[in-house]
Structure formats: structure tokens, C-alpha cells
Structure 1
Amino acid sequence: MRIALSQITTGSSPEQNLGLLREQALLAADSGACLVVFPEASMACFGTPLAPLAEPLDGPWATQVRQISKDAGIVVVAGMFTPAPDGKVANTLIATGPGVEAAYDKIHLYDAFGYAESDSVVPGAEVVTIDVEGVRIGLATCYDVRFPELFRAHADAGAVLSLLPASWGAGPGKREQWELLTRARALDATLWLAAVDQADPAASGAAPASTAPTGIGRSALIGPDGTVRERLDAGPGLLVADVDLDEVAAVRRAVPVLANRRLPCP
């Protein structure tokens, strides 16, 4: 399976950001990818007031994402914001394309390092997987990477690949944590992990709008044995890579951590 990881820096304009998605989706399709993954907050960067721009999944922004997917002929996964009660939003991944129509609301909210995502976002509650060309794929978002049980739930649902769009917050030690956590999640669920972060705004030639988490780059494709197979640097880029799905079964035979799990005594 050939997939593409699109590391972009989005701004505050949902319409302008669609132009980036269209350009990258067409490039991914030209490379032979069947799936292109965009970061969390592809609709609009964090630091932007989210409630005024949030739209339902049948709204104009998501409809245009579907059109981009149709024009490119590939599955598109991208982060957006959908309306929620009390003036808040859901941090939503839309997954759309040939044979695919699904959405995942981020379960674990980034209330850490002095930032409170829950001030404006409501958490999701459901594990979501999609099937692309007969391959089961799990969906997760950014801070979810700190919770291994979600990725094991993907594996339990039959997934051999998890997608992790993110807009990772910068700061001391944060790059090291991103790299450690993404590798750990692949290894402890023994599946492929495509971790797709927003590019570092400074490396994109744009100053971050606020102290909000706006990305550090370092997107990566990580094998089920926890090794990094491909990685981008801080700036914008499109990573296209082939995923050997048979490797999952081989790693699970060698390191059967899923089969060896035991519940702790009450």
C-alpha cells in the first residue's frame, strides 16, 4: 500500500487551506498513493477562534474536501472542527474517498503544558477505523498518542496501520517526546503508524499566531517493530512511502504482545 503524509502549515483561513489540500492531494495521487493524510487542524490552525468557523460534516468545507478526494481519486484524511454544544467544537478527522466516508472526534484533549484544549473542544468517545482497499486503518489525533490503549484498540479491531494527524506543541523536550511516543505506539500495538504533524511555522516562513500548538514537523512513517522508516524535517513536505502490510503479521509472531496481554488482578 502506497500512502502519502502531507506536512503543511495551515493558517486561519479555511478556504485558503483547502488550496493547500488540493495541491498536495493531487501530488500524492500523481505519486501513486491511494491515501493522503493531512495534519490535525487542517481546516484552520490553533490560535484561531474555532467556534465561528466550525462546520458540520455536510457543510461547505467538508464538501470541498470530498471534491478534492474525488478529483484526485484517493482517500483524504484531514483535521477539521465541527460544532458541539455550549459554543464548543469537536476536533474531528474527516476520512473520505473511494469506498470511505467516516469521521473521528479526538478522544483525549490536550490539557497539558499550560494549554487547555477542553476550554473550546469537547472530547469524542468512539474508536474509529476505516477500510481502504481492504486494509483496516485506525484513526487518532495528536495528544491521543500518549494513550497506548487507543492504538491497541485499533489493533483489536483488525487495524494494521494507524493514522495520527497532529499539531504538536513546541517546547523543551517536545520533539524528543513526539519521536519517542510515536515509535512506542507502533511497537506496543505492533502496527504501522503514520504520524503527520503540522510543519513548524517558522520553517514555513510564517510566524506562529500565538502560543497555541502549531506544529514542529518531524512527520514519520514507523514500522510495527517501532523503527522509523521515513521521516521529514521541520519544514513543509510530502512523504510518499510504501507500507509492507505482511510485516505486521511477522512482527506479531515474533513479539506477540497483543496475544500475551493479561488483565491485572482486581
Structure 2
Amino acid sequence: MRIALSQLTTGPEPDKNLLLIEEWTRRAADAGARLVVFPEASMACFGTPLAPLAQPLDGPWADRVREIARATGTVVVAGMFTPAEDGRVTNTLLATGPGVEASYDKIHLYDAFGFRESEGVAAGARIVTLDVDGVRFGLATCYDVRFPELFRAHADAGAVATLLAASWGAGPGKLDQWELLIRARALDATLWVAAVDQADPGTPPGTAPTGIGHSRVVGPDGTVRERLDAGPELLVTDVDVSEVESTRQRISVLANRRPELWP
């Protein structure tokens, strides 16, 4: 299946970011992509007051993403913010397109490296997979990559790939951790990991995470198959889903688990 990772930089204005999503989706569709993945916080970058701009999944921002997906014949995955009951928001991935409608609320919140996402964001509690042309994908967001259980849950649910959308915070060692974690999660679950980050905005990082770029496509054996540098760029690649089964026959970590020993 041909997929595209849209490594762009979004700003604080949701309507302007929709124009970017439309432009990059059309570019991906012209290159033959069936699935287009945008980063976390595609609706508005972190550092923006999120509660005033959050919208429900049936609101105008999500509906416009649906129109873009429908017009281009692609499935679009993009990060947005939806209202939560306690005045916070949820960090949501919308997945929409012909034959597909799903959403995932980020389970693991980024209360690390001096940032507290949970102060303004409510955690999700549901593992989500979606099917595109008979191929199953799991959804994950940024800090989720530090938790192998989620990726194994995707594999257990029949997924052959995880789509990981991120706004990865800059800092010492963070690029090394980003690549190490993506590769480890692919190998933990013997599935593809397509990880798209916000591009490096080119300014010194503030208190909120923005992005470092370096999006990656990693095979089920943990090897990097495609990579980007720091700046804005579109990555279009073909994912061989049959490779998952052959890898699991050789590297049987899922079959060899001993879940009865763990609480």
C-alpha cells in the first residue's frame, strides 16, 4: 500500500492549517498515496491555548478534513483537539476518508521533560485500529511510543502497521531517542511503524513541544526503510504488508510471549 507522511509545521490558526492539509493531501494523492498521515497538533501547534479552539468530531474543522479526504480519494489521519468534559481537551487523531471513519484519543500524556500535557489534556482510554482496503492500521500519538504495550495491542488486534503522529519536543538526546523508540516498537510488535513528526520550526524551542522532523518508516524487523531530515517534506512510500507475516515467522516474539506470568 502506498502511504504518505506529511512532515510540516503547523501554526496556531486552525483555518490556516487546513489550507496546509489540503495542499499536502493533494500532493500525496497526485503521487498515488492511498493514506496520508499528518502530525500530532495539525489543528493547532502546542503553545496555543487549546480549550478555546477545540471542536467536536462533527464540527467544522473535522468536516473540512473529511471534504479534503473525499475530494482526493484518500484516507487522511490528522491530529486535532476535541473538548473534554472537565474543561480540558483530548488530543485526538481523526482518521477519515472513503470507507473509513475513526478517531483515537492519546492514551499516554506527555508529563515529562518539564512539560505537563495533563494540565490541559484528558487522557484517552481506548485502543483504536482502522482498516484501509483490507489492511489494518493502529493509531498512536507521540509519547505513546515509549509504551510498547500499545504497539503489541495493535498487533494482537490484527494490525500490520502503526501510524504514529507526533509533535516531538526538541532537546539533548531527543533525536536519538525518537529513532531508537520507533525502531524498538516496530521490533517489539513485528509491525511497520510509520512515524510522522512536525518539522523543525527553525526557532529555539519554548516550553511547549513543537517538532524536530526526522520522520521515519520502519519495517517489522526494526530497520529504517525511509527517512526525512528536519525540514518540511512529503515522504511517499510503498509498504509491503506481506513482510509482516514473514518477519513474524522468523522473529517470533509475539508467539513466544508468556502473558500468564505478568499481572
For the superposition of Structure 1 and Structure 2, which TM-score range results when normalised by the shorter chain?
over 0.9
Residue matched to 1:261: 257
Is the contact made by 2:170 and 2:205 (CA closer than 8 Å) also made in structure 1?
A: no
1:58-77 pair list within 5 angstroms: 58-77=58-77
Residue matched to 1:171: 171
Distance 1:2 1:101 in 2: 19
Q: In the alignment, residue 86 of structure 2 is paired with which amino acid?
A: D
Residue 136 of structure 1, CA deviation: 0.5
1:213-248 deviations in whole A, cap 9, x for unaligned? Answer: 000000010000000000000000000000011100
Residue matched to 2:125: 125
Q: In the alignment, residue 78 of structure 1 is paired with which amino acid?
A: A
Gaps of 5+ in 2: none
Distance 2:113 2:206 in 1: 15
Runs ≥4 in structure 1, deviation > 6 angstroms? Answer: none
Distance 1:79 1:201 in 2: 17
Q: In the alignment, residue 211 of structure 1 is paired with which amino acid?
A: T
1:28-61 deviations in whole A, cap 9, x for unaligned? Answer: 0000010000000000000000000000000010
Residue matched to 2:183: 183
Q: How high is the TM-score relative to the length of structure 1?
A: 0.97
Residue 71 of structure 1, CA deviation: 1.1
Distance 1:62 1:123 in 2: 20
Residue matched to 1:239: 235
Residue matched to 1:14: 14
Residue 85 of structure 1, CA deviation: 1.8
**Is the counterpart of residue 135 in structure 1 residue 160 in structure 2?**
no
Residue matched to 1:219: 215
- Shift in alpha-carbon separation, 1:252–1:209, aligned structure 2, 3 A: closer
Q: In the alignment, residue 142 of structure 2 is paired with which amino acid?
A: C
Determine helix, strand or coil for the equivalent of 1:22: helix
Distance 1:3 1:167 in 2: 20
Residue matched to 2:54: 54
Residue 86 of structure 1, CA deviation: 2.1
Distance 1:86 1:227 in 2: 42
Determine helix, strand or coil for the equivalent of 1:86: coil
Q: How high is the TM-score relative to the length of structure 2?
A: 0.98
- Shift in alpha-carbon separation, 1:58–1:89, aligned structure 2, 3 A: same
Distance 1:84 1:38 in 2: 22
Distance 2:190 2:240 in 1: 13
The aligned length equals 262
1:28-107 pair list within 5 angstroms: 28-107=28-107
Residue matched to 1:201: 201
Is the contact made by 1:47 and 1:209 (CA closer than 8 Å) also made in structure 2?
A: no
1:74-99 deviations in whole A, cap 9, x for unaligned? Answer: 00000000000221000000000011
Residue 211 of structure 1, CA deviation: 2.0
Determine helix, strand or coil for the equivalent of 1:126: coil
